[in-house]
Amino acid sequence: MVGKDESPKEREIGTADAAGKPEPLTRSRRKRDSGPDPREPTEYETVFVRLSERVERILRAAIWTGLALLVAVQLVLSVPAVRKWAVKVERLEGVPFERADRDG
pLDDT, tens digit, 9 for 90 and up, residues 28-84: 555 555 566 678 889 999 999 999 999 999 999 999 999 999 999 999 999 988 888
- The whole-model pTM stands at 0.48
In the chain, domain spans? 1-36, 43-92
pLDDT of res. 46 = 93
Spell out the residues 6+ positions from residue 6 whose beta carbon is closer than 8 angstroms to its own.
Answer: 16, 20
Burial class (CB in 10 A: 0-12, 13-18, 19+), 10: middle
